[in-house]
Every structure is written in C-alpha cells, then in structure tokens.
Amino acid sequence: MKLGVCYYPEHWPEALWPDDARRMAELGIRHVRIGEFAWSRIEPSPGELHWDWLDRAVETLARAGLEVVMGTPTATPPKWLVDRHPGMLAVDAQGRERRFGSRRHYDFSSDAYLEESRRIVTLQAQRYGRHPAVTAWQTDNEYGCHDTVLSWSAQAAQRFRLWLRKRYGNIARLNEAWGNVFWSQEYRSFDEIDAPMLTVTESNPAHRFDFRRFASDEVVRFNRMQVEILREHAPGRPVSHNFMLFFTEFDHHKVAADLDFVGWDSYPLGALEMFWFSDEEKRRWLRTGHPDFAAFHHDLYRGMSRLPFWVMEQQPGPVNWAHWNPSPKDGMVRLWTWEAFAHGAGVVSYFRWRQAPFAQEQMHAGLNTPDNQLDAGGIEAAQVADELGRVPVVKSERAPVALVFDYEARWAIEAQPQGADFNALRLAFEWYSALRELALDVDIVSAQAPLEGYALVVVPTLPHLPDGFVARLRDSGAQVVLGPRCGSKVETLSIADGLPPGDLRTLMPIRVRRVESLRPGIAAPVVLGEHRGGCIRWREHVELGNDSVGEAQFADEFGGPAVVRCGSVRYLAGWFDAPTLSAVMHRAAVDAGLEPYALPAGVRIRQRGELIFLFNYGDEPATLPTESVDWLIGNDTVPAQGVCVARLRGD
Ligand code: GAL
C-alpha cells in the first residue's frame, strides 16, 4: 500500500525538479509516473533524440529515493510525425479526419503509426529498461479516451476485411451469419465490405457488432507490440496500462491479459457529473462521488490484474472536464485513497503533482497549486501517508459474490438496444450497488472466469453465452441470479434458437416469448412477497416450463412471472427499480448462506483478509455493530467522509 504521483518535469523549469522530488519523498510518495506525453521533447525533429533532460529528471527523482513509472509517449505523436504520415489520423463516423492539436490523434489500424510507435518505444526501452530507478512501465495513456477506439478510415476498413476473412473463412458463411439476405445486403467477396458508416438507415447490427470486436482487437495488437518490446528491454519490470472509468469500448480482459498489472484512473466527481446518474443523485453525491463508483472499478480491475492493481490517477480536487466541476468535501481524497487499498490496490497515484497554469488542463487541481503551495488534496495525501504504517498489508481474498461483466455483452446491446436507455454497464453497476448496500463484497469477473468457490453468482446481462459458460455456472454450485436478455442471442446477434434464454434453458426451463422496452416514467408493478416494486425500462413476457416457478409476479394487464426460480437459479424478467432489486438480492444472498445487512445510507464496508474497512459517503456519523475487532484507525462510529479500519481478532 503505497502512494504515487503523476509528474511532468517537461512542464517546469529544471531548477524546480530537486525541490519537487524532495517534497514528494517527504510527503510519503514512493512512485512517480513520468513521460507519457513527452514525445515532442524527446524527439523534437525526426531522429533528433533528446534524452538528456529525461535522464536528468529520472536521476533527480532517483536521488530522492523515488521509483519511476515510465510512460511510453505514443498517446501524443508530435506534429512533424503527423505531417510525415498524414494517413495515421483516425477518421470519424462522418468520414472526417480527426486532426492534430490535442491528443490521441492516431488510428490503431495505421501500420505507419504502429511502426513509428515501435521505433520510439524501442529506443526508450533500450535507454531506461534496465535503469535501477525505473521500476515499472505504462504503455501509452488511456486507450480509447476521447472516442478513439473506432476509426472509419480506409486502413481500418482494409484491416477489417482481413479480420472478417479470418473469422468467417468464406463469404457465404458471413452472409449467412449476418443474415444478409435481408434487404439484399449480400456480398460476393470480402473486398466488397466497408466499415458500417454513412448508411441510409440503420446498418446491419451484426456488421456493427463485428466492427466493434475488430476495433477492440486492434487495441490489443497495438498494446501487445509495446509490451513485447518492454519485455525484451526492461526485463523484470512490470508493465501496466491506465484504464478508464465507465469505459467499455475495447475488451479490457484481453488487453489486461498481456499486462502484469492494471492501472485505472479514478475521478469520482467527474464521473458522477458525466454519466447516467439522476439529478437527485448528482446533487446528493456532488462532493463525494457515488459511494459505489470507485469500488465498482476497483473490483472490476482487480479481477483482471495479475499483480495488485493500481489507481494510476486519483482525483485530488476539482477536475476540468465535466460539465460542472465541484470541489470534493474535506476528507474525500483520504477516503478515496483508503478505499482503493481496502479493495486491494497496491499503489494510489495522484493526478497530478502540481496544477499546470497553462493549456487544456490549467483548471485541473493537483496536489499543489500552480504557485507551488500544498493544496487540500496534498494535505490529505500526507495524512494517508502517515496512517499507512498503522495498517498491515494483507492479501485480498476472493469475495463470496461474483458479478459477471462482459464487454461483448455491452456491445451487443449497443448494436441493438431496442430501448433507448438499456445500458448494460449501468445495469451491472446497479446490481453491484444493490449487493454493496447489503454489505456484501463482490468480485467482478469475466464470462470466461472460473466460478467455483463463489456462494452467489450474479449475471446482470449476457446476451451471448460464451462456450462453457452454462456448464461453469451449473458446476459452481452457487446460487445464481440471471438478468434480462441473458442467453437471448447467438454470437452474431440473431435470436437464440428456441427463443431466449437459449442454452440457459438447461438451468432455467423458460421461454421469453416477447420483450418490450418502457419509456421513462412507465413502470410495470412487481409483487415479490410483501414487497411492492416496479420494473422499468425493460420487461419480458415469460412462459414457465417444468420445475420453474414464479417467485414474483407482474401486477399489470399482462401479468406473468417477474422473477422465475428453478432450484438455485433465479431469472429476472426485467430491469427492476432499486428496492425490488435489493429485495431479490437479499433473498438470493440468504439462500447462498451469506448474511446480507442493510447498511446506513452512504456507508460501505469492505473486508481485505483480516482487515475490515468502513467508509462513510453520507452526511451523518454512522455506528455499525462490530465484534471481536481491534481498531487500527477510528472506531465503530464512522464520521461523515470518514474511514475506520479494524483487524479481526483471531480465535
Ligand atoms: C485522464 C488522463 C490524464 C488527464 C486527466 C485529467 O483521463 O489520463 O492525462 O487528462 O484525465 O483528469
């Protein structure tokens, strides 16, 4: 459990560096990420390499006892490079070039850019790969930020055709799989296929779905190129990438498989403002962020990281990029930091050391103000540094609950939403929240992950069931909760044979006869025992088969089961409001032998090994029943914006 910071020596006079390094070390920082946007200073003109300043920056940090995370600079190719290879720019869905003048101006499918990246990463890795102070690497920066995964360029279309040829072998198979007989969309050869753009009306969803898969594989290819170079020239140094928040444009499980550890960038207030939360939630959590936002990502990224994951960038104060950018409440930077450790983070690294007084991010806070005074976030980081010695480092253990999250599921539903607000990521987040409000720890796992050992497995949605998934679910022996649209589609998006839930019928013998989406303000009433709730956004009309029973019913004009049970498996025939979802999760958790406990609003609890962490996002102090623990920080009353840490007493 260590602290880090993002630092841009190229933004500051060199005379300031030694003092920066000394103050970082004094504050308790151990890891400093540098370099990821510095290409124009490393190579101001083609082939003219200026490593001297970066050498001195690394030495300055090393002399202060700091370890360097070196970022490869490929997120910001310099102007001369773009002018040399104009075809490296990505193209938007309207066919317009995305030009130089900000960042991430490149196309993952550009071979010219791949080669330029290979060249600069190799030179950088040769220079710093074995440097004793450079102890970890980051590839590029935030793949996909600013909508940069998809490109509708000629080169992307060309590589897409190759990708399709490899996947389908012959064009007849593709025509069949996509259903191209519909509207005479049939192709005679792969060469005739374009990227799905500028069509008169909706393009074929199977076409778009494959284009998403292809684009995701292009990110994997680009990242793998860099990882291979780093493995060769920086032996023994772990390689990472900083993933984003609420971001699903590529398959993170596949990129993570090539990395040693995963980093992610945590901006709780920016995320609250920019995503689906209601106005009421935006007001309520304005200065704290949603209580499940950071934890959701910690549990997601922990699940794909071989070594402990990092928070590579932690919000330290107001950001610059949301519609409105409020200041966190006092205590939140400390709380977010401890919460990351509670969920298994190895390092929490703040973005950034000092606020830049110029260019795009001049309004973004740092640990220090532009005039170099420690800011509120810096003071809280120092507090955490002081507290760290009081809490031992223990291994994260498997949680009792697994939540299955699949990137392709998200793309499948985006390709054919059928209801404007059916967002698979939001559904996963709401299911996660329901579990966390019941004090349950959760591992977020891929649809390929082993499931044995979990008491409860929940699958918010998974339209296409990957090979072996149904068997893994059955063999897990867990209580299972399946959400709407599970098993509804085949791999190429056609409706599952025999109707949804397709192959899940071996566990849950039902037939989803009809689905409907519901506009905002419309809810189908649901009766679950004593509970009266509602189904919003999405409702399914289900026919029961042998051994399946309705545990909850729709109380609308159509009636029928809202929750179906078959042995240890439940199926939810819709998108439930929060209280109804909570009631179902409570039942499933009890059936799984767990002890769900309704936490006070805004309070969260997490166990890491024998440590128990309490967090309070709310406005009032909260007292929790805790027995047989020794308090390391605080006690059983967790103040507003407070953190308490206890160790379970051995028997
Ligand atoms: C991240 C990015 C950083 C910086 C930061 C500002 O998305 O990786 O470079 O832009 O946001 O919040």
Query: What CATH number has the domain bearing residue 417?
Result: 3.40.50.880
Clarify whether residues 564 and 521 are in a common domain: yes
- pLDDT digit string, tens, across residues 83-127: 999 999 999 999 999 999 999 999 999 999 999 999 999 999 999
Clarify whether residues 568 and 630 are in a common domain: no
- Look at residues 473, 539, 481 and name the one whose alpha carbon lies nearest to residue 506: 473
Ramachandran assignment for 3, one of left (phi > 0), alpha (psi -120 to 50 degrees), beta (any other):
beta
DSSP, res 340 = H
Clarify whether residues 56 and 121 are in a common domain: yes
Give the CATH number of the domain where residue 627 resides. 2.60.40.1180
Instruction: Classify residue 90: in a domain, yes or no.
Output: yes
Instruction: Classify residue 259: in a domain, yes or no.
Output: yes
Clarify whether residues 294 and 149 are in a common domain: yes
Instruction: Classify residue 179: in a domain, yes or no.
Output: no
- Rounded CA separation 516/372 (Å): 57
Please say whether the beta carbons of 6 and 362 come within 8 A.
no
Give the CATH number of the domain where residue 327 resides. 3.20.20.80
Q: For ligand 1, is residue 36 a contact (CB within 6 Å)?
A: no
Q: For ligand 1, is residue 351 a contact (CB within 6 Å)?
A: yes
Instruction: Classify residue 191: in a domain, yes or no.
Output: no
- Rounded CA separation 462/64 (Å): 50
Please say whether the beta carbons of 613 and 624 come within 8 A.
no
Q: For ligand 1, is residue 140 a contact (CB within 6 Å)?
A: no
Q: For ligand 1, is residue 313 a contact (CB within 6 Å)?
A: yes
What are residue 32's DSSP bridge partners? 5, 68
For 628, the domain range is: 603-648
Strand segments (E) across 450-502: 456-459, 479-482
Please say whether the beta carbons of 602 and 295 come within 8 A.
no
What are residue 69's DSSP bridge partners? 33, 136
| 132 has pLDDT over 90 | yes
Clarify whether residues 371 and 415 are in a common domain: no
Per-residue confidence (pLDDT) for residue 136, from 0 to 100: 98
Give the position of tokens 């339209």.
Answer: 463
Q: How far is the CA of 47 from the centre of ligand 1 (A)?
A: 28
Number of domains in the chain: 3
Which SS3 state, helix, strand or coil, does residue 187 take? Answer: coil
Instruction: Classify residue 176: in a domain, yes or no.
Output: no
- Rounded CA separation 319/407 (Å): 27
Clarify whether residues 212 and 337 are in a common domain: yes
Q: Which of 116, 142, 408, 430 is catalytic?
A: 142
Q: How far is the CA of 265 from the centre of ligand 1 (A)?
A: 8
Please say whether the beta carbons of 422 and 414 come within 8 A.
no
Structure tokens at 612: 């128990």
Q: For ligand 1, is residue 142 a contact (CB within 6 Å)?
A: yes
Among the candidates 591, 614, 639, a domain finishes at 591
Report how far apart, in Å, the C-alpha atoms of 410 and of each of 405, 413, 424, 500, 570 are: 9, 5, 5, 17, 22
pLDDT interval class at 68 (50, 70, 90): very high
What rounded mean pLDDT belongs to the chain? 97
Q: Determine what percent of the chain falls in helix, strand and coil, rounding each to the nearest 5.
A: 35, 20, 45
Ramachandran assignment for 289, one of left (phi > 0), alpha (psi -120 to 50 degrees), beta (any other):
left
pLDDT interval class at 646 (50, 70, 90): very high
Instruction: Classify residue 442: in a domain, yes or no.
Output: yes
What are residue 310's DSSP bridge partners? 263, 347
Average pLDDT for residues 295-320, to the nearest whole number? 98
- Look at residues 420, 429, 430, 457 and name the one whose alpha carbon lies nearest to residue 538: 420
Clarify whether residues 367 and 484 are in a common domain: no
Clarify whether residues 46 and 135 are in a common domain: yes
| 492 has pLDDT over 70 | yes
Average pLDDT for residues 58-74, to the nearest whole number? 98
Instruction: Classify residue 632: in a domain, yes or no.
Output: yes
Q: Which amino acid does the sequence have at 451?
A: L
540 is catalytic: no
pLDDT interval class at 596 (50, 70, 90): very high
Enumerate residues 6+ apart whose C-beta is below 8 A from 234.
Answer: 125, 128, 129, 130, 134, 137
Tell me which residue has its CA closest to atom 2 in ligand 1. 142
Among the candidates 361, 390, 419, a domain finishes at 390
Q: Which amino acid does the sequence have at 217?
A: D
| 526 has pLDDT over 70 | yes
Give the position of tokens 């090393």.
Answer: 62
Q: Which of 36, 218, 249, 313 is catalytic?
A: 313
Which H or E run includes 204? none
Report how far apart, in Å, the C-alpha atoms of 69 and of each of 8, 56, 340 are: 12, 15, 19
| 627 has pLDDT over 90 | no
Average pLDDT for residues 598-607, to the nearest whole number? 97
Please say whether the beta carbons of 172 and 184 come within 8 A.
no
pLDDT interval class at 650 (50, 70, 90): confident
Clarify whether residues 358 and 449 are in a common domain: no
Q: Work out the angle at residue 441's Cα, subtended by the Cα atoms of residues 437 and 445, and round it to the nearest 5 degrees.
A: 115
Q: Which amino acid does the sequence have at 497?
A: D
Clarify whether residues 268 and 368 are in a common domain: yes
Instruction: Classify residue 202: in a domain, yes or no.
Output: no
**Is-above-0.75 flag for pTM?**
yes
Average pLDDT for residues 537-542, to the nearest whole number? 98
Task: Provide the 10 A C-beta neighbour count for residue 146.
Answer: 10
Enumerate residues 6+ apart whose C-beta is below 8 A from 329.
Answer: 287, 288, 641
Tell me which residue has its CA closest to atom 10 in ligand 1. 361
- pLDDT digit string, tens, across residues 258-287: 999 999 999 999 999 999 999 999 999 999
Clarify whether residues 381 and 448 are in a common domain: no
Per-residue confidence (pLDDT) for residue 651, from 0 to 100: 64
pLDDT interval class at 558 (50, 70, 90): very high
What are residue 612's DSSP bridge partners? 607, 646
State the pairing for strand pair 643-648/611-616.
Answer: antiparallel
Clarify whether residues 303 and 212 are in a common domain: yes
Cα atoms in the 13 Å half-sphere on the side-chain side of 344: 29
Among the candidates 325, 360, 390, a domain finishes at 390
Torsion sign, CA atoms 93, 95, 100, 105:
positive
